[in-house]
């Protein structure tokens, strides 16, 4: 390869940048364009310099490596080597999408192997294939992030009154919830607690992956279900682990079965 490989180093740690520079300067094919200390500098440099190869740190404050990719556009990147401390999600994602990475601390041999692969990628002009892999990685990460946000927004505890005291009840401890007029009755073991909240409002604040409405007046914790038994005229009964039986509306049976398959999948 006669042309120089125009390379950008992105890492918030000065020592990490220096180590990469020392290794890269040993290769006569490499031309180091610049070093970036954070994500903002990286976005500006990539858009301005259009490097052939980027060594991109993932764990950076404020704007991490994934954010850099999202803001620059993977279609502008010819070759990339991710640099990361141990990150189980990242390593698995890189393997799945066939993206190269250096796991800190890395040795000279591992570095040389990654650089060799990057050179081959540049020679083969695989920018379209790389762009698709990077886009898939970003979409997967965004989906995981949205799932995490959604899960955090669901109730984990409820405040209930017990013998004149206010007690925090873990939502996961609830076996099922039953409508009681305009209130909701929380069944926890053989005890029941009245919550001054409508069933519909409470249902919207519960994780649908854990709680499902099986009747207009009953919401059940999926982890407490032992089995479903046929009843009269095509109806079913939901049997809990402790033997209690709950009525299952015919119209809600299909949804419950789907949730149970996912829950025990």
Encode the chain (265 residues) as per-residue pLDDT tens digits: 458 999 999 999 999 999 999 999 999 999 999 999 999 999 999 999 999 999 999 988 888 898 999 899 888 788 999 998 877 767 877 887 778 889 888 999 999 999 999 998 888 887 888 888 888 888 888 887 777 666 667 888 998 888 778 889 999 999 999 999 989 999 999 999 999 899 988 998 899 989 999 999 999 999 999 999 988 776 789 999 999 999 998 889 888 988 888 766 5
Number of residues that make up the chain: 265
Q: What Rg, from alpha-carbon coordinates, does the chain have?
A: 27
Q: Given this model, what pLDDT does residue 1 score?
A: 46
What predicted TM-score, i.e. pTM, was given to this entire model?
A: 0.57
Q: What is the rounded distance in angstroms from the CA atom of residue 19 to the CA atom of residue 32? A: 13
* Token code pair at residue 173: 């401890």
Considering the chain, what is the average pLDDT of its residues? 89
Residues near 9 by Cβ (< 8 Å), separated by ≥ 6? 17, 20, 21, 24, 32, 34, 35, 36, 55
The domain defined by 5-146 carries CATH number 3.40.50.2300 = yes
- How far is Cα 155 from Cα 189, in angstroms, rounded to an integer? 20
Q: Are strands 30-36 and 5-10 parallel, antiparallel or unpaired?
A: parallel
Coil, helix or strand at residue 205 = coil
Please give the CATH number for the structural domain made up of 157-264.
2.40.50.1020
| Domain regions of the chain by residue span | 5-146, 157-264
Closest among 31, 66, 26 to 50, alpha carbons compared: 31
Q: Contact at 8 Å (CB) between 92 and 156? A: no
- Rounded-to-integer distance, Cα 264 and Cα 74, Å: 37
End-to-end CA distance of the chain: 51
The confidence score (pLDDT) of residue 89 equals: 66
| Collapsed DSSP state (helix, strand, coil) of residue 117 | helix
What is the Cα–Cα distance from 247 to 259, expressed in whole angstroms?
17
């Amino acid at each position: 390869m006669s042309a120089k490989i125009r390379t950008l180093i992105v890492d918030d740690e000065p020592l990490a940048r220096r180590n990469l520079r020392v290794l890269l300067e040993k290769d006569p094919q490499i031309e180091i364009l610049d070093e970036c200390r954070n994500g903002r500098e990286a976005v500006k440099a990539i858009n301005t310099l259009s490097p052939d190869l980027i060594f991109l740190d993932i764990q950076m404050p404020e704007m991490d490596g994934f954010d850099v990719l999202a803001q620059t556009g993977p279609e502008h990147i010819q070759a990339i080597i991710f640099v990361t401390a141990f990150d189980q999600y990242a390593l698995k994602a890189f393997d799945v999408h066939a993206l190269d990475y250096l796991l800190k601390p890395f040795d000279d041999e591992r570095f040389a192997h990654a650089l060799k692969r990057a050179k081959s990628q540049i020679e083969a002009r695989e920018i379209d294939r790389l762009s698709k892999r990077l886009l898939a990685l970003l979409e997967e990460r965004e989906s995981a992030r949205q799932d995490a946000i959604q899960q955090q927004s669901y109730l984990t505890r409820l405040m209930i009154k017990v013998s004149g005291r206010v007690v925090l009840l873990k939502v996961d401890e609830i076996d099922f919830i039953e409508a009681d007029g305009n209130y909701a009755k929380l069944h926890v073991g053989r005890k029941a607690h009245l919550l001054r909240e409508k069933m519909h409002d409470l249902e919207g604040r519960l994780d649908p992956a854990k709680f499902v409405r099986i009747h207009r007046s009953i919401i059940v914790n999926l982890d407490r279900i032992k089995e479903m038994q046929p009843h009269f005229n095509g109806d079913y009964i939901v049997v809990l682990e402790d033997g209690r039986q709950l009525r299952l509306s015919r119209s809600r049976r299909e949804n419950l079965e789907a949730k149970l398959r996912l829950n025990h999948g």
